[in-house]
Structure 1
Amino acid sequence: MTPSKEWMIFFNDRFNEKYKVGVEQFLNYAFKKTSEENNIRCPCVKCNNTDYGSREVVEMHLNVNGIMPNYTTWYHHGERLGESSSDDEESEGSDCDEILRDLYPNMDGFYRSGSEIGSSNENKHGEEPNDEAKKFYRLLKDSEQPTYPGCDTSKLSVLVKLLHIKSIGRWSNESFDMLLQLLKQILPIGSNLPESYYDSKKIIKDLGLSYQKIDACKNDCMLYWKEEDKSNMCKICGASRWKENSHNEETKVRKNGKKLAVKTLRYFPLKPRLQRLFMSKKTASFMRWHHEKRVDDGLMRHPADSMAWKSFDDLHKDFSIEPRNVRLGLASDGFQPFTHSKKSYSIWPVILIPYNLPPWMCMKESNFILSSLIPGPEGPGDAIDVYLQPLIEELKEFIWEFVWLEYQR
C-alpha cells in the first residue's frame, strides 16, 4: 500500500508540515520497495528521476526543489499498477459526506446522525422546503441509510461505487439490472438497494449528474428546443422528427407510449459543473492557479504562458483582473462507439478543458468536462454550430452574469 500522496499538492509550499511528513513517508516507502539499498532515483523537478542519490541527498532535493507534481504514480520507486493507497481507505467512508458538503455548504450539519430525516424543516418553521432542500433531504436520508440492517456502508455510497464500476467496465443497463437483482438475493433481508438501473439513476440525479435530451433534425438542420420544442417537422428541410417503421411508415413508439426521435443530442449543463469546481475544497484553490501560482520564467508549460493568453488579458483587463473567471478550451472529434458493427457510425463528444487548473490537472481525463454528445451515424461537419447552440446560450448567460456582478461592484 502506498502512503498518502496528498502532500504533493504542497510542492509550492515546502515549509508546510504536511509536505515534510510526506517526504519522509515517500522515502521510507521508496527504500523499502526498491532493490537499491543506498541510492534511489530523485523525483525532484530538476533531477526528473534521471539522477540517483542517497536518502539525505534526495530528501534535500525534494525540500529545496520540490517533487515533480505530475509524478503521481511512483513506478520508479516500486509502486505497481492497481496498488491500493492509504488515500483510498481514508476517503472511503467520508466520500459521500464530502460530496453533500460541497453541493450544499449552507446545509452542513442539518439532521446529521441521530436525527429524524423524515421530520423535515417545514414542521419546525411552518414552511415547505424548496426544491434544493428537498434534494438535500433525500440525499441525506440515502447517505445515512445502511445498505442492509447492520451494514457500515451507506446505500448512497454503495450505489455511487456500483455506478462508477458500471461506467468504467462499460456494462450494459441490462447487466446492471441483473447485478442488482442478484445482490438482492445475496444480501440479508431488508436490503435498501434499488432494483434497477432506472431506479438508481433517479437517486443519483439529485447529485447533479444528469443531462438534457434535445431532439435534432436528421439532416442536422435544427434543434427541437425553445420555441421549436413541440414541432413535429424540420422547418428548414421538412423532414420528420420521429422514426418511422419502414414497412407501414407509422411512427415508432416506446413501451411508455412516447415517440422515438430520429436524432437526440445529449447536453450536459455547464453551470453546475463549474460551480462544483469552486464548491469542492479539493479544487477551489486550483481554479486560481493560472493567476497566483504560475511561474513566469519564459518557458511554455501552460496555455497561460502563451502570447494568445497574454494578448487576451491585455484586451480584456476587466475580465483578466479576476483570477476566478473561468478559461475554457473546447475540443471535439468523432469515434466509433460500437466495437463490432457492420455499419459505420460516428458519435461526436464535445469536451471542455478548464485552463484555470495547473498543467498536471487540466489535461487529466478526470478533469475534462463533457459538454455534449452529438449523435451519428455521420459527423455533423459544418453543422456542428447547430449542436453547439445550447452551450453558446449558456456561455452568453455567464457573460451577462459577469457584467451584472461588475455593475453591482
Structure 2
Amino acid sequence: MSEEYKAGVKQFCKLVAENSKNINFILCPCTKCLNIIEVNGPNELHDHMMFHDTVDTDFMEDAQGGSSSVEKDIPNIINDELRDHPDMYEELKNDVALSLWPGCTKASRLSAVLTLYNLKVGHQISDTFLMEMLTAVSELLSDGNVLPRRAYAAKQMLKSIGLVHNRIHACQNDCILYPKEYEMLDECPKCHLKRFKDGNSPSKVMWYFPIIPRLMRLYASPEDSKHLTWHHNGRIKDGMLRHPADSPQWKTFDDVHRDFGKEPRNLRLALSTDGMNPHRLQSSSHSTWPVILIVYNLVSSLCMKRKYMMMSTLIYGPIQPGNDIDVYLAPLIEDLKLLWEEGIEVEDRYRNDHFRLKAMLFGTISDFPAYNNLSGYSVKGYDVCALCGDKTDNVRLKNCKKCVYMGLIGTLLGVLGKIKDGLSARMDMIDMGIRSELAPVEVEGKKPYLPPAAYTLSRNEKNILLQTLHSVKGNNHKVVLVLQVIE
C-alpha cells in the first residue's frame, strides 16, 4: 500500500467528516461496502478503506462533490429509498457482506451480479445468454462461490434496487380501477361484471410505474442533473426552431407561469401512447397500450433515447381502451397534479443542494385516432381539425363516399388496393369541375384510361423511392413487402 494512497484516504476521511450531514451514518465507498453500507464515524471509514485497499475512486469523487456515471451512482441514488424498506435493505446488506467465494476480498456477491447485469443491459443480451454467462463464470471461479447460476435468481437479488410498480385491477369494460374507494368490491358498481375470474385471478389488470421516484433519481445522478438544465444553459438561442424549447409555446408558458419558468430544473414532459401487439401475431387483434413520458429538458440527442423515456403505464389488452383511456391514466394524472400544484423536495447531486421540483405536461405525441382518445376531440366527420373547428375546409366525395384524404405511399407506388387515385377519384374531380386534363378516357372494349398525373412515377423512379426508404434506419419490412408486390 503506497504512502500516497494512505495520505489520500486520510484527506478523504477528513473531507467527509467536515461535510457529512450526520457523522454517525457515513456511506463507505470501499469495494466491500459499495456505498450501500453505512459506517459509524470517520475512524471506522478509515479502517474500512485501509483494510479493503482497492477503492472505487469514482465513489470518492462523488462524495467530494465530483461527478460520476449513472451506473456508479446507483448505490447513492437508492440509499434513501431503502431506508423505508428495512427488509430490502437487510437483503442487500447481506449480499454486500457475503464474499463471492471464501477468502475473496475483491468482490461480493452483489458487486459480481451488478457487474454482469450491467453487461447484459449495456449490450442488450437475452436472459438465456445471461444464464449461460452466469453458469460459465461460476464454473471458472473457486469452489464454494455464491454466484447465482440462473437469470431469475440474479434478478431477485436486484429487485430491491429497481423501481416499484403497482399492479392495479380494472373492470373488464374499462369502467373503473379498483384501488381506493373500490378496493374492497368484488364487482364493478357500474356494469356489475365480476372483478375476478375463476379463483383469485383478476379479469383485467394494468401496471402503473410511479414517476416521482424516477424523476428524483434523475437529479440524484450528477451527470443527468447537469443535462436536465441544457434547455436553459446549453441551448443555442438564435431564433431558429431546433427543439421544443425554441417554440413560442415554451416561451409563452414561461411568461404566464413565471414562478415555474424561473427555475430551469423544473421539468417539461411529453406523453406518448399507441396500441401495440406484444404477441407479434399479425392475425391477432390484441391491443396493449404503453404510456411513455419524454423529458423535453434534455438536448434533442438525449430526450428520445430509451434511457430517458419512462414507461409510466401499461394497459393490457386484448381490447384497446378507446375513449376510456382516462380511467387508466388516473394514477399518472394524480402524480402529475402533485408535481404541478405542490412539487416535491429533491436533492440535486450536481449542485449539491435541495430544491422543490415541479413538472408540467408540455404536449402529447400520438397518431390521429389516439389523439381522439387522449383529448376527447372527435377526429371523424367533417370538422376534424382541432385548430379550425367548424371552419374546417372539407369536401365530401360523392363517388368515394368519404371525406378527402390521401394514402401517399400507396398512391405514389400504384400499389393495388392501396392507391387512392382511381376511377372514383377521377369522377369526383369531374363533378367538382377541376383538373379536366385528368378526366378518364373511354377506350372501346377496355377499362377507362386514366391519364398520368404530375406525381405518377416511372418504374425507375419507384425503385429509387423504395431504395431511399429502405436506407432509412428503422423497420423496413413493409418497404420490402411493397417492393415484392411491385415486382
* TM-score with structure 1 setting the length: 0.59
| CA positional deviation for 1:165 | 2.9
1:69-120 alpha-carbon deviations (Å, 9 max, x no partner):
xxxxxxxxxxxxxxxxxx9xxxxx99765310233389xxxxxxxxxxxxxx
Residue matched to 2:287: 346
Are the equivalent residues in 2 in contact too, given 1:97–1:143 (CA < 8 A)? no
CA distance in 1, matches of 2:274, 2:341: 30
Does structure 1 conserve the Cα–Cα contact (< 8 Å) formed by 2:127 and 2:151?
no
**Relative to 1, partners in 2 of residues 1:292 and 1:268: Cα closer, same or farther, differing over 3 Å?**
same
Q: Deviations over 1:196-231 (max 9, x none)?
A: 655544432321333111111111111111121222
Within 5 A, what are the aligned runs for 1:146-165? 146-149=99-102, 150=104, 152-160=106-114, 161-162=116-117, 165=120
Indicate yes or no: 2:188 matched with 1:239: no
The aligned runs of 1:108-119 (5 Å cut-off) are none
1:233/1:134 CA distance change after superposition, 3 Å:
closer
Check conservation: 1:216, 1:241, Cα contact below 8 A: yes
| Change beyond 3 A, Cα 1:151–1:370 | farther
Identity %: 38
* Root mean square deviation, CA, Å: 3.5
Name the counterpart of 2:124. Answer: 168
Q: What are the equivalent positions in structure 2 for 1:364-403 lying under 5 Å apart?
A: 364-402=305-343
| Structure 2 equivalent of residue 131 of structure 1 | 84
Specify the SS of the correspondent of 2:173.
coil
Candidates 85, 88, 95, aligned match of 1:142: 95
Deviations 1:213-266 (A, max 9, x none): 1111111111111121222111111111122xxxxxxx14xxxxxx21122111
Structure 1 residue 365: deviation in Å?
Answer: 1.6
Q: Which residue of 1 aligns with 2:233?
A: 292
For structure 1, which segment, 218-227 or 154-163, has the greater mean C-alpha deviation from structure 2 after superposition? 154-163
Tell me if the contact between 1:96 and 1:143 (Cα under 8 Å) persists in the aligned partners. no
Q: 1:103 aligns with which of 78, 81, 95?
A: 78
Q: Which residue of 2 aligns with 1:230?
A: 184
Further displaced range: 226-235 or 347-356: 226-235
User: In structure 2, do the counterparts of structure 1 residues 325 and 94 end up closer, same or farther at CA, with 3 Å as the change threshold?
Assistant: closer
Alpha-carbon contact 1:96-1:156 (below 8 Å) kept: no
Aligned with 1:358 (options 299, 320, 333): 299
Contact 2:70 2:223 (C-alpha < 8 Å) held by counterparts: no
Alpha-carbon offset, residue 163 of structure 1: 7.8
CA distance in 2, matches of 1:344, 1:146: 51
CA contact (8 A) 2:163 2:214 kept: no
Q: Given residue 148 of structure 1, which amino acid in structure 2 is its aligned partner?
A: W
User: How far 1:378 moved relative to its partner?
Assistant: 2.0
Q: Distance in 1 between matches of 2:105 and 2:279?
A: 39
Query: Where does structure 1 lack aligned partners over 5 or more consecutive residues?
Result: 1-86, 88-92, 107-128, 244-250, 253-258
Residue correspondence of structure 1 range 317-328 to structure 2 within 5 A: 317-328=258-269
Aligned to 1:192: 146
- Cα distance change on mapping 1:100 and 1:287 into 2, 3 Å: same
Give 1:146 shift. Answer: 4.1
Structure 2 gaps, min length 5: 1-57, 59-67, 346-354, 357-487
Q: Partner letter of residue 239 of structure 1?
A: L
Q: Which SS does the other structure have where 1:284 is aligned?
A: helix
1:52-91 equivalence runs, <5 A: none
Amino acid at match of 1:278: Y
The structure number with the bigger radius of gyration is: 2
Partners of 1:134 and 1:180 in 2: CA distance:
26
Query: What's the CA shift for 1:344?
Result: 2.7
Give SS of 2:343's match: helix
1:267 aligns with 2:208: yes
Equivalenced residue count is 278
**What's the TM-score, normalizing by structure 2?**
0.50
Q: Secondary structure at the match of 1:351?
A: strand
Structure 1 residues 218 and 181 mapped into 2: Cα distance closer, same or farther (>3 Å)? Answer: farther
Task: Point out the more displaced range, 272-281 or 130-139.
Answer: 130-139
